Structure 1
């Protein structure tokens, strides 16, 4: 579909996708630097090399569409619209973070842009997406819900249970597999007898497509078709993106499970940012390309300064956000704000308002 655009429109789309990928790359490299410096507590998992998937998918989505992410969710969160300031403050465990410093890297969420959350549980996002998709049907909207997941998640029960549910109820769910060749520290070649995981979708009657996950245009086109199908009542789609993570499973991973130099070899030939720049050719000048990098670096530096100047959460913050009614309008920094509470409404099922799933 990107190929069907006029040359100026295709260039505009390509630059937008490239801008998103560069912002993700700068954010991820900055997270790596500050994590190793001791500024970021907990664990952090990077998606360097997978930027084209986040950019291509989220460019098709509206703010009121939902996504659920994985433990490797920084790119998805940024591409869906969360501010870099709020993300970095969250990673630095500050009260001004998008989750007020309590979610961190693996549990970052932003309901205001439909980001239902990163998830420390492998395959933990499937049920969230099925629920959001069911809610859209019951409320008779044209919203869609997208589940990002890795190849390892397809070997767990929630994958199969929720694909089956979304298929039989014809829900507007889109399943985006980031097949980066490794489930944690294990190669998919050691855990599966199939090369294309998407063939599993056929068992549930769900159409599937395989795309080059290093090509943001290819991902964009696949999601454009999937979102159009979902919004029109056509049901779920499975999109397998063949990609690669250029870093270990987590920051500091010794990566003994893969060949030395493997990541460098892949990125030398398939870096999604380099490929997009090459694809745009003369339509994007070297100066314009450098400005995209400088803008992203300036944005990240501003976010770090914002985080450093922000307070840590107060001790009592641990007791707020446990129940849906927990908020103190007099203290919006440290309490759940009405804006955030109201942002939950688009994904709150109203049992009985629709025919599918009523009474369950």
Structure 2
């Protein structure tokens, strides 16, 4: 553990807490009727986006899902503009027209969240093809859930990425639930990563609620892909603590099941126990990071709430036909 260094440990904690507090804020304001559309929260999965993106830089690409706030924040997008986009304000990344499911920030390599299940596979694979054609050394990453591995785009993308040896890493966030359906009732394999073998692609399974396991697993994938070997498949086992969307009545599972995971397998709690137990960080250092996050969330909220809505006359601007 000493090999990580304090700064990286602080980065892990800062990013995970930032995602958690951001999502809790979004949930509260959505339920108060302040946010339009739907929102899908990343609470409980913070270690995956954090562990993966800690290995990347702004030149590396990521493609996201409809549950994309955590990926966006972990990749380094400006928090004020993320908040403003979700609140539908014109200071947001998509001028308030995309909302929660369509945030993108090309300046940090965030190619966009996506309201289409399985929509990110071919975007990320296409980005990897561009990297190869341009002889660059960056990589492309796509986050996706267990349910979307049953979509045709999954198989199309993995096949071509393998044939062309593209620099793309597929990160499956296996959170056990495909919307309201337990994935084991609709998926032919228990481990989604087994499907990579059908495309002659190496894979690895990691504990998605352990940021250290995710970081190390993704580092292995990155080294493999950067060496010119082609794509890699990383499956992170986790659990979706919140409903499919905010307001989901969750009639398909018990409150006890969810509480059990929250109490005993929460990525932030697990991190705190490890670093405090091994005296790698102090409680004062953790509290300082939490206070910093609280300030940033408050400032982002003020920025969003004080920003204007886009004018109805702008509805057809920024469209490609």
TM-score, L = length of structure 2: 0.97
**Aligned equivalent of 2:298:** 301
d(CA) in 1 for partners of 2:212, 2:78? 24
C-alpha deviation, 1:320, in angstroms: 1.7
RMSD (Å), alpha carbons: 1.2
Task: State which of 137, 141, 164 in structure 2 corresponds to 1:169.
Answer: 164
d(CA) in 2 for partners of 1:132, 1:144? 8
Query: Is the CA contact (8 Å cut-off) linking 1:180 and 1:244 kept in structure 2?
Result: yes
Task: State which of 51, 67, 74 in structure 2 corresponds to 1:72.
Answer: 67
C-alpha deviation, 1:177, in angstroms: 0.3
d(CA) in 2 for partners of 1:288, 1:8? 19
SS in 1 for 2:225: helix
d(CA) in 2 for partners of 1:187, 1:13? 35
Report whether the alignment pairs 1:55 with 2:50.
Answer: yes
d(CA) in 1 for partners of 2:30, 2:188? 37
CA deviations over 1:239-271 (Å, ceiling 9, x no partner)? 000001110000010101112221110111111
Find the structure with the greater CA-based Rg: 1
Query: Is the CA contact (8 Å cut-off) linking 1:94 and 1:311 kept in structure 2?
Result: yes
C-alpha deviation, 1:8, in angstroms: 6.1
d(CA) in 2 for partners of 1:180, 1:46? 12
**Aligned equivalent of 2:25:** 30
Higher mean displacement: 247-256 or 185-194? 185-194
**Aligned equivalent of 1:336:** none
SS in 1 for 2:66: coil
TM-score, L = length of structure 1: 0.87
**Aligned equivalent of 1:121:** 116
d(CA) in 2 for partners of 1:294, 1:215? 23
C-alpha deviation, 1:185, in angstroms: 0.2
Task: State which of 235, 252, 260 in structure 2 corresponds to 1:257.
Answer: 252
Report whether the alignment pairs 1:211 with 2:188.
Answer: no
Higher mean displacement: 12-21 or 250-259? 12-21
Unmatched 5+ stretches in structure 1: 325-360
CA deviations over 1:37-68 (Å, ceiling 9, x no partner)? 11110000001000000000011111011111
Alignment of 1:162-311 (within 5 A): 162-281=157-276, 282-311=279-308
d(CA) in 2 for partners of 1:269, 1:10? 26
SS in 2 for 1:221: helix
Higher mean displacement: 184-193 or 43-52? 184-193
d(CA) in 1 for partners of 2:256, 2:81? 35
Between the two proteins, the alignment pairs up a number of residues equal to: 319
